[in-house]
Amino acid sequence: MRTTVGIIGAGPAGLLLARLLHNAGIGSVVLESRDRAYVERRQRAGILEQGTVDVLRAAGAGARMDREGLPHEGIELRFDRRRHRVDFPALTAGRSVMVYAQTEVCKDLIALQTEQGGPLLFEAEALAVEDADGDRPRVRFRHEGREDVLECDYVAGCDGFWGVSRSAVPADRSQIFERTYPFGWLGVLADVPPSHDELVYARHERGFALLSMRSTSVSRLYLQVPDGTDAGDWRDEEIWAELERRFETADGWRLERGPITQKSVTPMRSFVHEPMRHGRLFLAGDAAHIVPPTGAKGLNLAVGDVVTLARALAHERRTGSADLLDAYSETCLRRVWQAERFSYDMTTLLHRHPDATPFEDRLQLARLARITTSRAAETDLAEAYTGFRLD
C-alpha cells in the first residue's frame, strides 16, 4: 500500500489531519488500532477553543457542532465560598469557547473521511515506523490477521502517548520534560441538567472540583482525589456530598443531583517530547505532549499541531519548499510550552497539594484574589483559556 502521508491514529488529531490534507488535495491513509465503535465512544475532552472551532468550520466539519454544541462566553471561579465570573468576549475582543465532546468531533470527522476522504482502516495496529530518516518511510501494521506495509512520503504519529510513533525517534536525539502530580481527577457523568450554564472551577481546602457538562441534560463533574484512587471505592452518595461541600457558596447556590452513569479516575501529568520531528516522521497530539486537564488544552493542542503540519505539507506541495516542514517542531513547541505553562498554572492555582503548608494555601488565595481584582491578570487567563494562535 502506498500514500503520501501515513497517519497513525484516528483520534481527533489524525482524523482532522486527514480532512485538512484531503481539502488540500494531498493523499493519506489512516491506521487505527481500535474498532470504530470504540473510537466513537471513548470519553475525552469537551472544551474547544475559538481556534479549534474556526478550524472545524473551515474544514467542513462544523455543521453538527454549531447545531448541538454549547457556546460558552466565560467560566466561574469559586473560592472562600465566593463566586467570580470571567467574561471571555469582554477580555479577548470577542473570543469564546465551545462545549462539544471529543467523541462527537471524532464521529463528525469519521463520517467525512469515510464518505469523501482516503482509506481509514480500523483494527489496523501499527507495529513500527521504519526508515523515518530516509526518503521513503514505512509503517508496518497488522490488519485483518496479516501484516502489511504502508509506504509513505511522510508519517504523522497521532497515536497517543502509548503509541509506536515516538519510539521511532532515537533516544540520543530525544529530550523528555515531565512532571507528575500527587493527585488525580475522579470524573463522573450524571443524567442531570448542569447546575450552572458555564463551567465552574472551585478551589476548596478539601481539594479542587469542576462542574462541566456534555449537553443540556448531562453533567460532567470532577473531584480532586489522591493519586492511585480507585473510582469504585466512591459510592454515589459520597461523590455528591463531596461535590456539594466543594462548590458551596455564601449565596445559597444549589448543586442538582441525578443518576451517575459513569465513573473514572484520570491521572495528572505534564509531558513534552522534543523534538516533535525526526526525519519524515512528525509527532502530533498526545504522542508529543500531555497536559493536565485543568486548562482544557489537550485536544486543542493536537488541533494546533495538525493545522501546522497540514499547512507545511500544502506549502511544500505548492512551492517545493520544505521550510515550513523544517520549522514544524519549533513552531509547535512555542505553543505547546505556553499551553504547558497555563495548564500548570491552573493546576497549582486550584488544587491543594497533600503536603501544602498554610503559607502555600494563602498564596493560592492571593493568586485568585489577584485574578478577580486585576483586569490585566484576568485578561491573561481569558486569553490563554480561549486559545493561543494557530501559527
CA 116 to chain centre: 26
How far from 196 is each of 76, 78, 211, 215, CA to CA, in Å? 9, 13, 8, 12
Ranges in the chain annotated CATH 3.50.50.60: 5-72+97-177+269-346
Q: Which of 100, 154, 222, 385 is catalytic?
A: 385
What tens digit of pLDDT does each residue of 165-177 get?
999 999 999 999 9
What tens digit of pLDDT does each residue of 326-362 get?
999 999 999 999 999 999 999 999 999 999 999 999 9
- Mapping DSSP onto H, E and C, the string for 75-120 reads EEEEECCEEEEEEHHHHHCCCCEEECCHHHHHHHHHHHHHHHCCCE
Q: Cell for 203?
A: 478551589
- Residue 379 burial (10 A CB sphere; 0-12, 13-18, 19+): middle
* DSSP letters for 207-253: --EEEEESSSS-EEEEEEEETT--GGGS-HHHHHHHHHHHH--TT--
Whether residue 280 is predicted with pLDDT greater than 90 in this model: the reply is yes
Ranges in the chain annotated CATH 3.30.9.10: 181-268+352-386
Q: Which of 278, 293, 328, 351 is catalytic?
A: 293
Q: Which of 22, 273, 289, 297 is catalytic?
A: 297
Q: Which of 22, 72, 204, 351 is catalytic?
A: 72
**Known catalytic residue: 72?**
yes
pLDDT of residue 41: 86
CATH numeric code, 5-72+97-177+269-346? 3.50.50.60
Is 355 strand, coil or helix?
coil
Q: Which of 100, 154, 181, 201 is catalytic?
A: 201
Whether residue 43 is predicted with pLDDT greater than 80 in this model: the reply is no
What tens digit of pLDDT does each residue of 159-205 get?
999 999 999 999 999 999 999 999 999 999 999 999 999 999 999 99
- Spatial distance between the Cα atoms of 116 and 364, rounded to a whole number of angstroms: 50
What's the CATH fold of domain 181-268+352-386?
D-Amino Acid Oxidase; Chain A, domain 2 (3.30.9)
pLDDT of residue 45: 73
**Known catalytic residue: 385?**
yes
- pTM, entire model: 0.95
pLDDT of residue 107: 97
Say if CB 185 and CB 224 are below 8 A apart: yes
Whether residue 325 is predicted with pLDDT greater than 90 in this model: the reply is yes
Residue with cell 498554572: 345
What tens digit of pLDDT does each residue of 72-121 get?
999 999 999 999 999 999 999 999 999 999 999 999 999 999 999 999 99
- Spatial distance between the Cα atoms of 314 and 319, rounded to a whole number of angstroms: 8
**Known catalytic residue: 263?**
no
**Known catalytic residue: 328?**
no
Lowest mean pLDDT among 44-48, 208-212, 218-222, 356-360: 44-48
**Known catalytic residue: 297?**
yes
pLDDT of residue 391: 65
Query: Partners of 277 in the beta sheet?
Result: 282
Say if CB 211 and CB 244 are below 8 A apart: no
